[in-house]
Structure 1
Amino acid sequence: MTRQKFVKITLFCHKRADISDEEFHRYWAVEHPKEVKKCRPFMDRVWRYNQYHITPEMRKEAATIGGSTVLDYDGGAEFWVKDIEDWKAMIAAEGGLLTLVEDEAKFVQHPLDIMYGYEELIVGEEIPFNTKHRNQ
């Protein structure tokens, strides 16, 4: 087992009630990343950003597995940061999280639910932490 070098912040969301599932997933996957990539405080501090899209059909399929409760979210966003201080700095920075929250309001119902923790690598390869060759 190997504790990974990054910590993760995961935000779980519900779509706005007044938009379709298709529009929610399209906007989040296509339009929102354009705003994210323009947000310098975000791009300077977040090393990886993954979107976890969950459709109503997938929730129904998950319910057939049994033995667990299916979480009722439309999606989750996973952010890898060096530490919680980088996340807080991004939130506090001018042009930081506030600009992204304004865009989120177009497709996400607030408030969001959050998890914060670290990974213990059990299977697979470690992702190297190399600050000289960061891909954006």
Structure 2
Amino acid sequence: MIKLVYVIRKRADVSEKDFHEYWLKKHGPLVRGFAKSMRAKKYVQSHTVFEDAGQQIRTTRPRMKETYDGITEVWWDSLEDFNSGGDIKQRAEAARALLEDESKFIDFERSSIFLTEEHEIFDYTK
């Protein structure tokens, strides 16, 4: 599996409440609408919670100060599916629409995006 990981910080002019609500209720369904044209298999949003506990954990790590507002993860079966999934026009439309929507709530300069290959070490939920 190939996974896109998008570590997100909200725009400064967007409240925390509005950020989480928009991301979940507006952006999430928009991504779902493009899933088939992108050949995406799974999409998960992880919203930061319990910031006091997060701060305590960060103090146990050298020089770790900042946190993120959340993480988006999108899965594909293969790098080939990620690179060539679906109709070119549909993929271009998805890329344009998603970027336009993300600009409403994401601080691009303070966020990061990268591809990973999963290596499951354990999963006791199965």
- The answer to whether TM tops 0.5 is yes
1-side partners of 2:76 and 2:98: how far apart? 17
Matched to 1:88, the amino acid is: N
- 1:41 and 2:37 correspond: yes
Q: How many residues align?
A: 118
Which of 81, 96, 99 is the equivalent residue of 2:97? Answer: 99
Structure 1, unmatched stretches of 5+, are 1-5, 128-136
Q: Over aligned residue pairs, what C-alpha RMSD do you find? A: 2.5
**Equivalence for 2:60:** 67
TM-score by length of 1: 0.72
Matched, 1:18 2:10: no
**Mapping of 1:1-136 within 5 angstroms?**
6-39=1-34, 40-42=36-38, 45-55=39-49, 57-58=50-51, 60-65=52-57, 66-68=59-61, 69=64, 71-89=66-84, 93-111=91-109, 112-124=111-123
Stretch deviating more after TM superposition (104-113 or 74-83): 104-113
Seq. identity, %: 28
Bigger helix share: 2
| TM-score, reference length from structure 2 | 0.77
Give yes or no for contact 1:7–1:116 (8 Å, CA) kept in 2.
yes
Q: C-alpha separation between the residues in 2 aligned to 1:110 and 1:90? A: 25
Deviating more after overlay: 61-70 vs 97-106: 61-70
Greater strand percent: which structure?
1
Distance in 2 of aligned mates of 1:53 and 1:125: 22
